[in-house]
Amino acid sequence: MKKAIILLLCLAVVGGGGFFGYKQYQKSRDAKRVVDVVPVGAMASPYFGGYWGDENSMYGSTSAANAQRVQLDTEKLVKNVCVTKGQQVKKGDVILEYDMTVVDLELAQKENDIQVIQQDIKMANNKLAEIRNYQPSENAPQEPDVPDEPDIPDEPDFPDDPVTPIELTEEVPAAFHAESGTGAPDDPIIINCTPRAKVYLPFMQMAASTKRCFELRVYNDDYTFLYKWLLSGADLKEEDLTEWVVTEGVTIDPQTGAVSIDTNGKMHGQLSFGAPPQRPVGDEMPEEMPQDYYPMQDDSMMNNSMDYRYSRAEINTMIKEQEARIKELNINLKEAQLKLDTAKKQKNDGRVLAEIDGIVKKIGSVTDGAANPDDPSEKDPFAEPSEDDQYFAVIEGDGGMEVICTVMEMNLPRVQPGTVLEVMSYSDGASSEAVVTSIDPEPVSYNYQGWGSNPNNSSYILHAKLQNSDNFMLGVGVSVTIVDEETNTNSTSLYLPPHYLRREGGDYYVLKADENDRLVKQYVSVGATDYYVEVKGGLSMKDRICFPYGPNAKEGVRTNDTDQPKMPEGMYY
């Protein structure tokens, strides 16, 4: 009996030693195992979880944080480019010079616009005062009844009275000498002209603004009537406001004096050959005619001729229309003055200066404003688009890196200055947080991001400072995701190859490296599963995971960082 007990004790000791020895062997073997882990960002699909049609994702590139970007003033012409690509510049150096000739002409035009509007306002106020003095037809005096006059025998015929020579003018300025007329359609203002008479631009502008009617009668040097031009200010267009001579549009035979229409000439109004009535000697002119007509002065002298033509209601309507026109002219004057003030503030010596010390990364040309055509990279049709394409010049200085990307309008409230973003390099999987520094106020004209979304959803250029730029290169493409401040996780889904996840019952998990570079099991929530698996939570772009199959893929195994994802044989992505 004792021998049996001793035998059992010996077997137990041997078995226990063997068990503990096997455990020690396993521990020693696991200590030698190493499993490669890859950043999630190096394998997450840009097609499913990246920028294509996904309004919650952004794509961009790295750039120097301390940079000056120059956009051309589209209203100016580049006269001279003063730097070359790769040149070192100092703050205050001249980058380019604008041609200021066009700018000076535009300023003069804006000043002239103001003067024209001011003149129109004065004339409109004079017209308003004139209308207010009209006597309504209701106040017209009644003619008294008079007895019939007795018949008077016909007077004998006498020869025609001699004709008084009329006063002719060779210039028709804004202030002119009128024969008669009020400017109404049935009573045009008459101006007698020689065939050499020149009609000036201010007169045409005055006629258009006052909408009055004129009759320019043309006489030969012997006071023989030739023809007349009928001008309606209300019908004049912008292209009609030019200087011209009264013989334009007609041909006068030097032998016979006959007048015919010149088909090659410009018709400045309606041409008429109807002769005016002659004025006999002894007849007195109306008290107010002839006169030197100044359209800027108070035209109260015309009031008598306009009395009793319109009813009180019609006069009130005319007053309201004129007041509305004056109000519109005053608004136009304020807008013109604002444009002039803005143009004066923007006017400088035409030079654009460097604002920082740095190197010229990009510079355009004088001819077309494009990047330097001698740069081979600009000729590469397959070159990746750059955020700097829209700028004429880019100067980069010291001061770290930033990310430049586009953000959809719907995401603007989530990416204000100070917002934390997560950035991952497409080239090597390097990752870092970035803080939004600014967003351009104007939307970009076109961007391929979010092409499948609402076409009314504009895109804006966003700038974010990289917090750790040591592992990033300048000019590389990066993916940018918004970090949820509450959970400190990505607010958008990740899309991973299915062979990097394992299923346990109804749950999915990955094996990732912890802070001690040891594998741990991490359960994740998944969504759609197709060519890639949508990971909706539990994982971020900066996590490092391993291929979770094989004898070495187990918790506690040491990890080794790599940027090459492991692919099953015959599978590509």
CA dist 19 to 9, 13, 336, 557, Å? 15, 10, 97, 22
Residue 383 tokens read as 């070159």
Report the range of poorest mean pLDDT among 20-34, 130-144, 362-376, 530-544: 362-376
Which among 98, 114, 93 has a CA at the least distance from the CA of 347?
Answer: 98
Residue-wise pLDDT for 251-286, tens only, equals 887 777 778 777 777 778 888 887 787 654 444 444
Report which of residues 28 and 179 the model is more confident about.
179
Q: Answer whether residue 522 shows pLDDT above 90.
A: yes
Residue 48: pLDDT over 50: no
| Residue 263 vs residue 541, higher pLDDT | 541
With bands split at pLDDT 50, 70 and 90, how would you rate the model's confidence at 128? very high
Residues 6+ apart with CB under 8 A from 473: 62, 425, 427
Report how far residue 181's alpha carbon sits from residue 295's, in angstroms, rounded to the nearest whole number. 13
The answer for residues whose C-beta is within 8 angstroms of residue 415's C-beta and 6 or more apart is: 407, 421, 436, 439, 462, 482
**534-558 mean pLDDT:** 87
pLDDT tier at 507, thresholds 50, 70, 90: confident
- Mind listing the domains of the chain with CATH numbers? 66-100+349-398 (2.40.50.100), 162-307 (no CATH)
Residue 163: band (very low, low, confident or very high) from pLDDT cuts 50, 70, 90: low
Q: How many helices (H) and strands (E) does the chain have?
A: 6, 31
403 against 144, higher pLDDT: 403
**Which has more confidence, 208 or 430?**
208
Instruction: Please report, as a single letter, which amino acid is at residue 444.
Output: V
- What is the rounded average pLDDT of the residues 491-505? 79
Q: Quick one: pLDDT at residue 319?
A: 93
Decide which of 164 and 433 is more confident: 433
Predicted pLDDT at 53: 40
Answer yes or no: pTM beyond 0.75: no
367-377 average pLDDT score: 48
What is the C-alpha to C-alpha distance for residues 148 and 409, in angstroms, rounded to an integer?
89
Tokens at 183, concatenated:
């400017």
Q: DSSP string covering 89-126, please?
A: E-TT-EEEEEE-HHHHHHHHHHHHHHHHHHHHHHHHHH
